[in-house]
Amino acid sequence: MVKRFGFIAVLLCAAGVALAGTFGGVTNTQLLTRAQSIQASDLGKGVTAPTDASIGTTPVVPALLFDAVAETANVNITLPSDADRSVDMRLILVVALSSVQTNADTLDWTCDYVTSAENTTGDGPAKTSTQITATTTVTTGNGLAIGDVYTVVLTFPNGDATNPVNAAATILSAEIHMTNVTGVADIHVLGAQLAYEGSH
């Protein structure tokens, strides 16, 4: 699942958008789409680290520059207590082009993650991870210039056999990196959001 949002849409996601009826397998329950913000500075750096960078002049927007597959960043997210654990959660990366791109180039991302349950033996961060991927296609209509903003949506399945985001999960630990550099070869990560559904 890949979408492009403007900053207004991202803010709306953070504020909460009311949904009714059936959504994500939940019937006759009114849900709110909520988001937990993650700044670029919240992302830890892997053994091979992305480069600290910035975009713009007023304001100067901090970012992490990824331009090699080996570069990784990681984050620990305490899962929100108000999340509906019967549906998937999503990590939405907010990125900006760091060089001029060609129409239909793709930006491919990989995320390896684990969910850990409190007071449960063998269910900590050292267990086997689950890998998910997502692809964004950049287009002329959506912008190919330096600084143009896209989002990449990585979905954590509620029903994953090893790392579910279910009622038992307490914390989610994730590592992200570019899958390849054959399309978009360099990108600024501005931040991210953990998006989830929360019941009234």
Note whether 66 and 50 are within 8 A (CB): yes
**pLDDT for position 199:** 65
Partners of 135 in beta bridges: 108
**pLDDT for position 23:** 34
pLDDT, tens digit (0-9, with 9 covering 90-100), for 75-109: 999 999 999 999 999 999 999 999 999 999 999 99
pLDDT, tens digit (0-9, with 9 covering 90-100), for 160-197: 999 999 999 999 999 999 999 999 999 999 999 999 99
CA quadruple 50, 41, 157, 166: dihedral, nearest 10:
140
Residue 147 lies in a domain: yes
pLDDT, tens digit (0-9, with 9 covering 90-100), for 118-168: 999 999 999 999 999 999 999 999 999 999 999 999 999 999 999 999 999
What is the tally of structural domains in the chain? 1
Q: Sign (positive/negative) of CA torsion 24, 29, 32, 34?
A: negative
Residues 6 or more apart whose Cβ sits within 8 Å of residue 182: none
The CATH number of whichever domain residue 113 belongs to comes to: 2.60.120.260
**pLDDT for position 104:** 97
**pLDDT for position 33:** 84
Q: Is the pLDDT of residue 26 over 50?
A: no
Range of the domain at 82: 36-195
pTM score of the predicted model:
0.83
pLDDT, tens digit (0-9, with 9 covering 90-100), for 30-55: 456 899 999 999 999 999 999 999 99
Residue 17 lies in a domain: no
Residue 12 lies in a domain: no
**DSSP at 37:** E
Residue 19 lies in a domain: no
Residue 4 lies in a domain: no
